[in-house]
């Protein structure tokens, strides 16, 4: 059971998105992705991915802060140190290091994958997953015009996606949601994600969105504004879903106590890893709150982690786990992630570890920097 890291190699790879992705706080065209290769003292190896972005626009962390936190503080603290189980890493790292949840998660999730590899079980089943396929939704970035969005939304529905999420910001909201609703029809599952672009004083404006029967409104206010989300939720018929605000299970408890939202978007990479992700999942399940798995424009490595997590029972809403081809000309894993015509992504529940193989030659080609830290 125990995990003892002997070596960790960090690599930064660069991959161009097939199309730019715009959220309220910024636009991404080329992804810089931090990949980790972990090796246990027994020789078992596993890959993992850090979900930090290029800019501190979604949260405070970036690829560069994660690189610093991992190389200076997180990995040195763990090398050669045995822990009984990957879940022990969460508390150990949280006690020692304030913040940096995405950097911590990269190692914590990698340790779970190491254990899955060693035991010859899939990450899905190790985590307690029960599903064989994940219902999938698409996240469409802010488009230049409502018409352009309507075309994208219509095409996504035709491809099989089970729900459509559109990014919004002040100035690109009502008209965009209106166009998407017209294009999709009254029954299609439609939702909007604001990535913290609104203020409490926008409550009247946001209440106008109720008319569009959105499945949910994701993260309208700032990440620390739980109380103000609760006041806003009182004003809205549309359920609020929290993403950025939920950085650990305690925040989910606060959300429940305050009534700050009715749905949680769980991203394991945002909450410090699978231990926290599972705790949030279990808490929401006890309170009959649905959860779904969000995405961070991951490569096929991080996607494998999301698919595994989304196979847990309370992930009852479609996740942002689009197939590889939505993002990349060519992914870094084989087989690539695919989605069927009904919007389902298969869980590799009977393959060990991530369930996909990392194409190391391709990773080598894309690597712009690398650093290995090893047990002395």
Which active-site residues does the annotation give? 167, 267
Other Cβ atoms closer than 10 A to 160 = 14
Q: Does 193 bind Mg ion (CB under 5 A)?
A: yes
Radius of gyration from C-alpha coordinates of the chain:
20
The verdict on 331 binding ligand OSB (CB under 6 A) reads: no
Determine contact, residues 53/28, Cβ cutoff 8 Å.
Answer: yes
- Near ligand OSB by CB under 6 A: residue from 12, 49, 61, 320: 320
Of 261 and 294, the one with the shorter C-beta distance to ligand OSB is: 294
Q: What's the min distance (Å) between Cβ of 39 and ligand OSB?
A: 28
Q: 38, 48, 58, 309: which one contacts ligand OSB (CB under 6 A)?
A: 58
Report if residue 243 touches Mg ion, rule: CB under 5 A. Answer: yes
Pick the closest to residue 44 from 352, 376, 356 (CA basis).
352
173 binds Mg ion (CB under 5 A): no
Q: How far is the CB of 227 from ligand OSB (least distance, A)?
A: 21
Question: Should residue 298 be labelled a site residue for Mg ion when binding is judged by CB under 5 A?
Answer: no
Q: Could you tell me the two tokens for 116?
A: 């899955």
Check if the beta carbon of residue 284 is closer than 8 Å to that of residue 263: no
Place of tokens 């109380």: 227
- 47 and 54 in contact (C-beta within 8 Å)? no
Q: Which is nearer to ligand OSB, 118 or 165 (CB)?
A: 165
Q: Which does 225 bind (CB under 5 to 8 A by kind): Mg ion, ligand OSB, none?
A: none
Which residues, 254 to 283, sit near ligand OSB by CB under 6 A? none
Closer residue to ligand OSB (CB): 119 or 336: 336
Three-class secondary structure assignment of 132-149? CEEEEEEEECCCCCHHHH
Beta bridge partners of 13: 33, 367
Do residues 356 and 335 make contact, with C-beta atoms less than 8 angstroms apart?
Answer: yes
Residue 243 within binding range of ligand OSB, rule CB under 6 A: yes
Q: What is the C-alpha to C-alpha distance for residues 48 and 353, in angstroms, rounded to an integer?
A: 11
61 binds, among Mg ion, ligand OSB, none (CB under 5 to 8 A by kind): none
Does position 24 interact with ligand OSB (CB under 6 A)? The reply is: no
Kindly state the tokens that stand for 182: 């017209």
Q: Of the two residues 23 and 111, which places its CB atom closer to ligand OSB in the complex?
A: 23
Residue 35: φ, ψ to 5°:
-110, 145
For residue 198 the two structure tokens come to 């609104």
Decide: 110 and 40 in contact? Cβ < 8 Å.
no
For residue 87, how far is the Cα from the chain centroid? Answer: 19
**Residue 348 contact partner, candidates ligand OSB, Mg ion, none, CB within 5 to 8 A by sort of partner:** none
Residue 45 binding ligand OSB, by CB under 6 A: no
List 27's β-bridge partners, or say none.
22
Residue 112 binds ligand OSB, judged by CB under 6 A: no
Name which of ligand OSB, Mg ion, none residue 101 binds, using a CB cut-off of 5 to 8 Å depending on partner kind: none
Task: Give the residue closest to ligand OSB by C-beta.
Answer: 295
Cβ of residue 297: shortest distance to Mg ion, in angstroms? 11
Asked if 322 touches ligand OSB (CB under 6 A), the answer is yes
Output phi, psi for 130, to 5 deg. Answer: -125, -15
Binding string, residues 114-153; x marks residues near ligand OSB by CB under 6 A: -------------------------x--------------
3-state SS, residue 284:
helix
Cα distance from N-terminal residue to C-terminal residue, the chain: 23
Q: How far is CA 211 from the centre of its chain?
A: 29
Contact 181, 212 (CB under 8 A): yes
If binding is defined by CB under 6 A, does position 297 make contact with ligand OSB?
yes
User: With CB under 5 A as the contact rule, which of the stretches 235-243, 275-283, 300-308, 348-356 interacts with Mg ion?
Assistant: 235-243
From 147-155, 169-177, 240-248, 272-280, give the range in contact with Mg ion by CB under 5 A.
Answer: 240-248
Residue ranges binding Mg ion (CB under 5 A): 193, 218, 243
Residue ranges binding ligand OSB (CB under 6 A): 23, 58, 139, 193, 195, 243, 294-297, 320, 322
């Amino acid at each position: 059971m125990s995990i003892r890291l002997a070596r960790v190699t960090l690599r930064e790879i660069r991959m161009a998105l097939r199309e730019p992705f715009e959220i309220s706080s910024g636009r991404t065209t080329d992804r810089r992705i931090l990949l980790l290769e972990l090796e246990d003292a027994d020789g078992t190896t596993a890959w993992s991915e850090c979900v930090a972005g290029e800019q501190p626009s979604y949260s405070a962390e970036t690829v560069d802060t994660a690189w610093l936190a991992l190389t200076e503080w997180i990995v040195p603290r763990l090398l050669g140190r045995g822990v009984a189980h990957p879940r022990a890493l969460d508390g150990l790292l949280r006690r020692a290091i304030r913040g940096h949840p995405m950097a911590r998660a990269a190692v914590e999730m990698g340790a779970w994958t190491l254990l899955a590899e060693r035991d010859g079980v899939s990450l899905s089943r190790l985590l307690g997953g029960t599903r064989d396929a994940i219902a999938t939704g698409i996240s469409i970035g802010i488009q230049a015009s409502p018409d352009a969005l309507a075309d994208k939304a219509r095409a996504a529905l035709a491809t099989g996606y089970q729900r459509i999420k559109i990014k919004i910001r002040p100035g690109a909201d009502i008209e965009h949601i209106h166009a998407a609703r017209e294009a999709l029809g009254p029954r299609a599952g439609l939702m909007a994600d604001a990535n913290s672009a609104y203020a409490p004083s926008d409550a009247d404006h946001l209440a106008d969105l109720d008319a569009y029967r959105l499945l949910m409104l994701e993260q309208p206010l700032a990440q620390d504004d739980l109380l103000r989300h609760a006041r806003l939720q009182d004003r809205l018929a549309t359920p609020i879903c929290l993403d950025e605000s939920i950085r650990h299970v305690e925040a989910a408890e606060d959300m429940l106590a305050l009534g700050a939202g009715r749905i949680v978007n769980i991203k394991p990479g945002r909450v410090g890893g699978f231990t926290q992700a599972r705790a949030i999942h279990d808490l929401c399940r006890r309170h009959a709150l649905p959860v779904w798995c969000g995405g961070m424009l991951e490569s096929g490595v991080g996607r494998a982690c999301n698919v595994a997590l989304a196979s847990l029972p309370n992930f009852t809403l479609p996740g942002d786990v689009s197939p590889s081809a939505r993002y990349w000309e060519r992914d870094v894993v084989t087989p690539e992630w695919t989605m069927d015509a009904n919007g389902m992504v298969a869980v590799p529940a009977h393959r060990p570890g991530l369930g996909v193989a990392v194409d190391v030659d391709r990773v080598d080609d894309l690597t712009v920097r690398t650093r290995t830290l090893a047990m002395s």
